[in-house]
Amino acid sequence: MKQRYFITFAYDGTAYHGWQVQPNANTVQEELQKALSTILRQEVSVVGAGRTDTGVHARKMVAHFEIEGPLDGEQLTYKLNRLLPRDISVFQVEPVEEDMHARFSALARTYHYYIHTRKDPFRDKYSFEIHYDLDYELMNEACKLLMEYEDFGAFCKSGSDVATTLCRITEAYWSKDGDTTYHFRITANRFLRNMVRAIVGTLVEVGRHRITLEEFCQVIEGGRRTDAGESMPAHALFLEDVRY
Protein backbone atom coordinates (compact mmCIF):
# COMPACT_ATOMS: atom_id res chain seq x y z
CA MET A 1 0.00 0.00 0.00
CA LYS A 2 1.30 3.43 -0.93
CA GLN A 3 2.01 6.04 1.73
CA ARG A 4 1.64 9.75 0.97
CA TYR A 5 4.32 12.18 2.17
CA PHE A 6 4.47 15.96 2.41
CA ILE A 7 7.76 17.72 1.64
CA THR A 8 8.26 21.21 3.05
CA PHE A 9 11.02 23.18 1.33
CA ALA A 10 12.24 26.56 0.12
CA TYR A 11 13.91 27.79 -3.04
CA ASP A 12 15.53 30.75 -4.71
CA GLY A 13 13.69 30.97 -8.03
CA THR A 14 16.30 33.06 -9.84
CA ALA A 15 17.67 30.21 -11.96
CA TYR A 16 14.34 28.49 -12.62
CA HIS A 17 11.48 28.86 -15.07
CA GLY A 18 8.99 28.61 -12.25
CA TRP A 19 7.76 25.59 -10.31
CA GLN A 20 6.04 23.45 -12.92
CA VAL A 21 7.88 21.05 -15.22
CA GLN A 22 8.28 22.47 -18.72
CA PRO A 23 9.93 21.19 -21.88
CA ASN A 24 13.40 22.63 -22.52
CA ALA A 25 13.46 24.65 -19.30
CA ASN A 26 14.82 23.98 -15.82
CA THR A 27 12.17 24.09 -13.06
CA VAL A 28 12.02 23.48 -9.32
CA GLN A 29 9.56 20.59 -9.70
CA GLU A 30 11.91 18.87 -12.14
CA GLU A 31 14.88 19.21 -9.77
CA LEU A 32 12.89 17.84 -6.83
CA GLN A 33 11.51 14.89 -8.80
CA LYS A 34 14.93 14.07 -10.17
CA ALA A 35 16.49 14.04 -6.68
CA LEU A 36 13.69 11.93 -5.18
CA SER A 37 13.82 9.45 -8.06
CA THR A 38 17.59 9.08 -7.69
CA ILE A 39 17.50 8.52 -3.93
CA LEU A 40 14.45 6.25 -3.91
CA ARG A 41 15.56 4.41 -7.06
CA GLN A 42 12.20 4.66 -8.76
CA GLU A 43 10.26 7.24 -10.75
CA VAL A 44 8.69 9.75 -8.35
CA SER A 45 6.36 12.61 -9.25
CA VAL A 46 5.40 15.41 -6.89
CA VAL A 47 2.36 17.68 -6.70
CA GLY A 48 2.97 21.20 -5.42
CA ALA A 49 0.80 23.49 -3.32
CA GLY A 50 0.72 25.91 -6.24
CA ARG A 51 2.67 27.27 -9.17
CA THR A 52 5.19 30.05 -8.97
CA ASP A 53 6.25 31.91 -12.10
CA THR A 54 9.74 32.27 -13.52
CA GLY A 55 12.02 34.03 -11.03
CA VAL A 56 9.59 33.90 -8.08
CA HIS A 57 10.94 32.53 -4.77
CA ALA A 58 9.44 30.47 -1.95
CA ARG A 59 10.35 30.59 1.72
CA LYS A 60 7.88 27.78 2.33
CA MET A 61 6.51 25.51 -0.36
CA VAL A 62 4.80 22.15 0.15
CA ALA A 63 4.53 19.20 -2.23
CA HIS A 64 3.37 15.60 -1.89
CA PHE A 65 4.40 12.27 -3.36
CA GLU A 66 3.46 8.64 -2.83
CA ILE A 67 5.63 5.56 -2.47
CA GLU A 68 5.27 1.96 -1.31
CA GLY A 69 6.32 1.27 2.25
CA PRO A 70 7.57 3.48 5.09
CA LEU A 71 10.34 6.05 4.75
CA ASP A 72 12.69 7.65 7.26
CA GLY A 73 11.72 11.28 6.71
CA GLU A 74 14.71 12.68 8.56
CA GLN A 75 17.15 10.58 6.57
CA LEU A 76 15.44 11.44 3.27
CA THR A 77 15.58 15.14 4.15
CA TYR A 78 19.32 14.83 4.75
CA LYS A 79 19.92 13.00 1.46
CA LEU A 80 17.80 15.42 -0.55
CA ASN A 81 19.73 18.40 0.78
CA ARG A 82 23.00 16.68 -0.15
CA LEU A 83 21.81 16.06 -3.71
CA LEU A 84 19.68 19.09 -4.55
CA PRO A 85 21.23 22.34 -5.85
CA ARG A 86 22.11 24.90 -3.18
CA ASP A 87 19.16 27.09 -4.19
CA ILE A 88 16.63 24.44 -3.07
CA SER A 89 16.47 23.46 0.61
CA VAL A 90 14.25 20.75 2.13
CA PHE A 91 13.08 21.30 5.73
CA GLN A 92 10.97 18.25 6.38
CA VAL A 93 9.51 15.05 4.91
CA GLU A 94 6.57 13.64 6.84
CA PRO A 95 3.82 11.05 6.29
CA VAL A 96 0.25 12.34 5.95
CA GLU A 97 -3.20 10.84 5.57
CA GLU A 98 -4.03 9.60 2.08
CA ASP A 99 -6.68 12.28 1.56
CA MET A 100 -4.23 15.11 2.27
CA HIS A 101 -3.34 16.97 -0.94
CA ALA A 102 -0.58 19.57 -1.20
CA ARG A 103 -2.71 21.79 -3.42
CA PHE A 104 -6.36 21.10 -2.65
CA SER A 105 -6.02 20.68 1.13
CA ALA A 106 -4.28 24.05 1.54
CA LEU A 107 -6.47 26.54 3.39
CA ALA A 108 -4.40 29.66 2.74
CA ARG A 109 -1.32 30.91 0.98
CA THR A 110 0.65 34.05 1.85
CA TYR A 111 2.88 36.09 -0.47
CA HIS A 112 5.23 39.00 0.23
CA TYR A 113 6.42 41.56 -2.31
CA TYR A 114 9.51 43.59 -1.35
CA ILE A 115 10.53 47.08 -2.47
CA HIS A 116 13.36 49.44 -1.53
CA THR A 117 13.89 53.10 -2.31
CA ARG A 118 17.68 53.43 -2.24
CA LYS A 119 20.26 51.63 -4.32
CA ASP A 120 21.39 48.63 -2.30
CA PRO A 121 23.58 45.82 -3.72
CA PHE A 122 22.48 43.47 -0.93
CA ARG A 123 18.76 43.84 -1.65
CA ASP A 124 18.69 44.19 -5.40
CA LYS A 125 18.34 40.45 -6.09
CA TYR A 126 15.24 40.00 -3.92
CA SER A 127 13.61 43.43 -3.82
CA PHE A 128 12.42 45.93 -6.43
CA GLU A 129 14.10 49.33 -6.40
CA ILE A 130 11.78 52.29 -6.97
CA HIS A 131 12.62 55.98 -7.35
CA TYR A 132 9.32 57.71 -6.64
CA ASP A 133 7.31 58.51 -3.51
CA LEU A 134 4.36 56.31 -2.60
CA ASP A 135 1.40 57.13 -0.37
CA TYR A 136 1.42 53.96 1.75
CA GLU A 137 -1.53 55.11 3.85
CA LEU A 138 -3.65 55.42 0.73
CA MET A 139 -2.40 52.09 -0.59
CA ASN A 140 -3.46 50.43 2.66
CA GLU A 141 -6.92 51.94 2.23
CA ALA A 142 -7.01 50.27 -1.20
CA CYS A 143 -5.85 47.01 0.41
CA LYS A 144 -8.94 47.05 2.66
CA LEU A 145 -11.10 47.34 -0.45
CA LEU A 146 -9.58 44.15 -1.87
CA MET A 147 -11.24 42.15 0.90
CA GLU A 148 -14.67 43.39 -0.18
CA TYR A 149 -14.42 41.53 -3.50
CA GLU A 150 -14.23 37.90 -4.63
CA ASP A 151 -13.71 38.10 -8.39
CA PHE A 152 -10.17 39.13 -9.33
CA GLY A 153 -10.20 38.55 -13.07
CA ALA A 154 -8.71 42.03 -13.51
CA PHE A 155 -5.47 40.74 -11.96
CA CYS A 156 -5.29 37.42 -13.82
CA LYS A 157 -2.79 37.00 -16.65
CA SER A 158 -4.55 37.23 -20.00
CA GLY A 159 -5.18 33.87 -21.62
CA SER A 160 -4.83 31.90 -18.39
CA ASP A 161 -6.72 28.61 -18.40
CA VAL A 162 -8.64 28.87 -15.11
CA ALA A 163 -12.07 27.53 -14.21
CA THR A 164 -12.86 30.49 -11.96
CA THR A 165 -11.37 33.86 -11.06
CA LEU A 166 -12.96 33.82 -7.59
CA CYS A 167 -10.59 34.12 -4.62
CA ARG A 168 -11.07 35.01 -0.95
CA ILE A 169 -8.47 37.50 0.31
CA THR A 170 -8.23 37.51 4.12
CA GLU A 171 -5.37 39.98 4.64
CA ALA A 172 -3.56 42.58 2.54
CA TYR A 173 -1.37 45.44 3.73
CA TRP A 174 1.91 47.32 3.29
CA SER A 175 4.49 47.46 6.08
CA LYS A 176 7.58 49.61 6.52
CA ASP A 177 10.58 47.43 7.41
CA GLY A 178 13.29 50.10 7.59
CA ASP A 179 14.14 53.61 6.46
CA THR A 180 14.16 52.58 2.79
CA THR A 181 12.49 49.14 2.77
CA TYR A 182 8.87 48.02 2.59
CA HIS A 183 6.89 44.90 1.85
CA PHE A 184 3.36 44.00 0.82
CA ARG A 185 1.71 40.99 2.48
CA ILE A 186 -1.34 39.24 1.06
CA THR A 187 -3.12 36.04 2.11
CA ALA A 188 -5.90 34.24 0.25
CA ASN A 189 -7.36 30.78 -0.15
CA ARG A 190 -6.03 30.71 -3.74
CA PHE A 191 -4.27 32.96 -6.23
CA LEU A 192 -4.59 33.40 -9.96
CA ARG A 193 -1.62 33.41 -12.29
CA ASN A 194 0.30 36.69 -11.98
CA MET A 195 -2.32 37.97 -9.50
CA VAL A 196 -0.04 39.28 -6.75
CA ARG A 197 2.30 41.16 -9.09
CA ALA A 198 -0.68 42.71 -10.90
CA ILE A 199 -2.26 43.77 -7.59
CA VAL A 200 1.03 45.34 -6.47
CA GLY A 201 1.35 47.18 -9.77
CA THR A 202 -2.16 48.58 -9.39
CA LEU A 203 -1.61 49.54 -5.74
CA VAL A 204 1.50 51.43 -6.85
CA GLU A 205 -0.72 53.41 -9.24
CA VAL A 206 -2.86 54.30 -6.21
CA GLY A 207 0.24 55.19 -4.20
CA ARG A 208 1.47 57.51 -6.93
CA HIS A 209 -1.96 59.21 -7.01
CA ARG A 210 -2.45 58.12 -10.60
CA ILE A 211 -5.78 56.45 -9.81
CA THR A 212 -8.25 57.11 -7.00
CA LEU A 213 -9.73 54.56 -4.61
CA GLU A 214 -12.95 54.75 -6.60
CA GLU A 215 -11.06 54.01 -9.81
CA PHE A 216 -9.28 51.14 -8.04
CA CYS A 217 -12.67 49.61 -7.32
CA GLN A 218 -13.73 50.17 -10.91
CA VAL A 219 -10.68 48.23 -12.09
CA ILE A 220 -11.67 45.25 -9.94
CA GLU A 221 -15.33 45.42 -10.92
CA GLY A 222 -14.50 45.74 -14.61
CA GLY A 223 -12.59 42.46 -14.60
CA ARG A 224 -10.30 43.48 -17.47
CA ARG A 225 -6.57 42.91 -17.11
CA THR A 226 -5.85 45.83 -19.42
CA ASP A 227 -7.38 48.24 -16.90
CA ALA A 228 -5.14 47.17 -14.01
CA GLY A 229 -1.57 48.27 -13.37
CA GLU A 230 1.51 46.69 -14.87
CA SER A 231 2.81 43.39 -13.54
CA MET A 232 5.71 44.06 -11.18
CA PRO A 233 9.05 42.20 -11.63
CA ALA A 234 9.10 38.60 -10.37
CA HIS A 235 12.38 38.67 -8.45
CA ALA A 236 10.86 40.58 -5.50
CA LEU A 237 7.98 38.12 -4.94
CA PHE A 238 8.10 35.35 -2.33
CA LEU A 239 5.64 32.62 -1.45
CA GLU A 240 5.96 33.03 2.32
CA ASP A 241 3.65 30.39 3.73
CA VAL A 242 1.14 27.64 2.93
CA ARG A 243 -1.29 26.65 5.67
CA TYR A 244 -3.36 23.48 6.05
Residues annotated as catalytic are 53
- Residue among 19, 17, 18 nearest 7 (CA): 19
**Residue 128 parent element (H or E):** strand 128-129
Report the C-alpha gap between 226 and 159 in whole angstroms.
12
Cα dihedral 91/97/98/104 (nearest 10): -70
SS3 label, residue 236: helix
Length of the chain: 244
**Residue 95 parent element (H or E):** strand 88-96
SS3 label, residue 112: strand
Q: CA distances (Å), 46 to each of 55, 105, 136, in order?
A: 20, 15, 40
Report the C-alpha gap between 87 and 12 in whole angstroms.
5
Report the C-alpha gap between 156 and 190 in whole angstroms.
12
Rg of the chain on CA atoms, in Å: 19
Task: Please give the backbone phi and psi of residue 207, each rounded to the nearest 5 degrees, phi first.
Answer: -65, -25
